[in-house]
Amino acid sequence: MEEKRYGVYSIRGAKENEWEEAMNLAWETFLIFQTKEYSKEGIKSFQEFVSSRELKKFFLEGIYQLFVAAKGEKIVGIITLRNQSHISLLFVDKEYQRDGLGSLLVEYLSHYVLYENNRDYLTVDAAPSAVEFYQKIGFFELAPMQSHQGISYIAMKKNLRYIRKERKTNERFF
């Protein structure tokens, strides 16, 4: 899917040389907003995940997809996709939060998943503090809170079938 412009932002697939900047954004944003929710084990698990050489290898092979939101040349938000329909990471730079950028990233990814991967749903393991955000944009809870390697999350899902119907009337994104 090609780059899309949303006001001052552009959203597109990440370039190979943008991996480190994107993972640094995820780590720094995690440190600011998420560390209160997680144990030392969870923080360490997350750091190991975003700095994993294997994860970068999967990105380079196209198995793990990274999309970036940029304002000019600066990456200000990221969203990643695994297994063709699962959001793995979603982070927006602290300076750009509460501006709708997270919602735009999910909307961009929703269209990608629906039209490029031919899947009619998205899933996410939402941090407890992100559940309300995901609910506002159409996700629903699949299971109660769980924990793995010190990271607590709530499995959520969003059905994307409605996008096909709205495409004719909503030209904002296409």
Burial 81-104 (b: 16+ CB within 10 A, else e): beeebbbbbbbbbeebbeeebbeb
- Whether the pLDDT of residue 166 is over 60: the answer is no
**Can you give the pLDDT at residue 38?**
86
State how far the Cα of 61 lies from the Cα of 50, in Å rounded to an integer.
17
State how far the Cα of 39 lies from the Cα of 150, in Å rounded to an integer.
6
> Does residue 111 lie within any of the structural domains?
yes
**Can you give the pLDDT at residue 162?**
72
State how far the Cα of 68 lies from the Cα of 91, in Å rounded to an integer.
10
> Does residue 174 lie within any of the structural domains?
no
Mean pLDDT of 154-174: 67
pLDDT confidence tier of residue 168, bands split at 50, 70 and 90: very low
Task: Give the helix/strand (H/E) hosting 166.
Answer: helix 161-166
- Whether the pLDDT of residue 6 is over 90: the answer is no
Alpha helices of 18-160 — where are they, by DSSP H? Answer: 19-33, 40-50, 53-60, 101-115, 131-136
> Does residue 56 lie within any of the structural domains?
yes
Backbone angles phi, psi at 171, to 5 degrees: -90, 5
Domain total in the chain: 1
For residue 100, the domain's CATH number is 3.40.630.30
> Does residue 18 lie within any of the structural domains?
yes
Greater model confidence, 169 or 165:
165
> Does residue 173 lie within any of the structural domains?
no
**Can you give the pLDDT at residue 164?**
55
Domain ranges, residue 127: 4-166
pLDDT confidence tier of residue 53, bands split at 50, 70 and 90: very high
Encode pLDDT of 105-146 as tens digits: 999 999 999 999 999 999 999 999 999 999 999 999 999 999
Instruction: Record the pTM.
Output: 0.90
What tokens were used for 53? 């050489």
> Does residue 171 lie within any of the structural domains?
no
**Can you give the pLDDT at residue 36?**
80
**Can you give the pLDDT at residue 40?**
92
> Does residue 109 lie within any of the structural domains?
yes
pLDDT confidence tier of residue 154, bands split at 50, 70 and 90: very high
State how far the Cα of 69 lies from the Cα of 49, in Å rounded to an integer.
21
Encode pLDDT of 65-109 as tens digits: 999 999 999 999 999 999 999 999 999 999 999 889 999 999 999
Mean pLDDT of 32-56: 92
**Can you give the pLDDT at residue 163?**
65
Mean pLDDT of 150-167: 81
> Does residue 172 lie within any of the structural domains?
no
